[in-house]
Structure 1
């Protein structure tokens, strides 16, 4: 599998065009400030490992309301027990809505732990098998369908988080579309990473319209198109306002700010991104 950087360069997707041009004029009559801002805790992964409770308190003080966890070397919840992290977040006025996990040998325990927290979604964070072929993506679709049934029995919704490689083609088919077409839209949802979709030359809005109701979760990020990595809001190539203006087309329930690389301290970026959203009119 190609690296993100190699894939994007070789595919010629650096000419992003008008999709990337920032424009706030369409939202001039809207209400200022984005509400119920979420964050993917991978954004502050090191801080969560060092001091999970203290980091959650900092996020709450900034204003973040919705949370998505990610697997770590200390487990699914950064060394905290499922009920423990649920109580801590609720006491801070936040909600643990989702978690990034793997569909692997520990899947049964993963589902049980998620049910114990009371979270709504479990999101597979990467393909459970290798191979950029239609046949492999059909096999993955079967895996996802079974995983979704397990989640449904536990009262949880299952989904998948994309990267950039899913937008490669095999036999003339976009592999991401194979996943969408080969899975039940009622049971297998998608968490769209808007940044990677756009950097591959695709428009998320086209997917919202073609596959209505499939994208209840988003990763909202800005991207540096030269370095091919995430950056602070307003410093990259992604039209954040346009994306949020199309939330209804996506039937988006929650979005999570995600930033994987930083210009300085991660918490400074986290604060910048929240403040940026509060200055928008949508």
Structure 2
């Protein structure tokens, strides 16, 4: 009997006019295949978290990374409920985007309850594009990482474009890398924002080998500086995938913030693109 997943994949094949193998959830070198950052489905998750997770599971996604929302870190579900729903759907809750703020202790406790492996700070806790501020933030990240490690969680940081600005001749992201402890601060590299900033992810893989256990795989429309479907932007995805070992990546999350149509259609396209690799 044909399943909804079969129907969706066959539809993607018909639309693209390509031959697609039924392994779209898998990526060489990334443990357990590809995941998705749920910010991709932010509106849908806010309206119907469980129903949206079911649709994501049906197209073959195996890993989930949450994003802070108006309903909390788990879209109105408790941490245990989120874990149970993902498990029942054959997915694993691996990571979550949070803020490093006054409620961070509670955030860590929730992450422990959810069973997730990583807590990723999604934005600079203090703004200021100076070397001194980034050194201060690095110290705060080291302390947060130590707190998380004691609770069995890995702490990390997700970059944007602005971290690649310079102050006094120093790239601020490099200041952050040079002043954080690799065993306490685990970097999630957003490959799309790296190229928008005019940098090459491969250069960072080489300079900080093995320090990027998580990726956001995001193709970018370079003219508009916004995300797009795989193969339509400026990221050399095959080259990135060929350098997984150098980066140290363990978990790859697809993220797309803007779409040509519905988010689920963009995700099906992206999975089909990855299959052709």
Please give the TM-score of this superposition, normalised by the length of structure 1: 0.87
Equivalent residue, structure 2, for 1:46: 43
Which residue of 132, 135, 138 maps to 2:132?
Answer: 135
Aligned equivalents of 2:135 and 2:92: distance in 1?
A: 34
Equivalent residue, structure 1, for 2:181: 184
Aligned equivalents of 1:146 and 1:189: distance in 2?
A: 13
Equivalent residue, structure 2, for 1:229: 226
The one-character-per-residue Cα deviations of 1:27-57 (angstroms, maximum 9, x if unpaired) are: xxxxx86431100000000000111111111
Equivalent residue, structure 2, for 1:121: 118
Equivalent residue, structure 2, for 1:24: none
Which residue of 52, 55, 58 maps to 2:52?
Answer: 55
**For this pair of structures, how many residues does the alignment match?**
249
1:104 pairs with 2:101: yes
Which residue of 176, 195, 199 maps to 2:196?
Answer: 199
Equivalent residue, structure 2, for 1:241: 238
Unmatched tracts of structure 2, length 5 or more: 1-22, 28-32
Aligned equivalents of 2:198 and 2:70: distance in 1?
A: 34
Aligned-pair CA distance for 1:185? 1.0
Equivalent residue, structure 1, for 2:14: none
Secondary structure of the 1:262 match is: coil
Aligned-pair CA distance for 1:266? 1.3
Secondary structure of the 1:213 match is: coil
Aligned equivalents of 1:250 and 1:200: distance in 2?
A: 19
Aligned-pair CA distance for 1:71? 0.3
Structure 1 segments of 4+ aligned residues over 4 angstroms from their partners: none
| Residue pair 2:210, 2:245 contacting (<8 A) in 1 also | no
1:257 pairs with 2:218: no
Which residue of 155, 161, 168 maps to 2:165?
Answer: 168
Secondary structure of the 1:184 match is: coil
Aligned-pair CA distance for 1:85? 0.6
267-276 or 35-44, larger mean C-alpha shift:
267-276
Secondary structure of the 1:223 match is: strand
Aligned equivalents of 1:242 and 1:278: distance in 2?
A: 15
Aligned Cα RMSD in Å? 1.0
Aligned equivalents of 1:179 and 1:84: distance in 2?
A: 35
Equivalent residue, structure 1, for 2:276: 279
Aligned-pair CA distance for 1:213? 2.0
1:68 pairs with 2:65: yes
Secondary structure of the 1:139 match is: helix
Secondary structure of the 1:263 match is: coil
Equivalent residue, structure 2, for 1:22: none
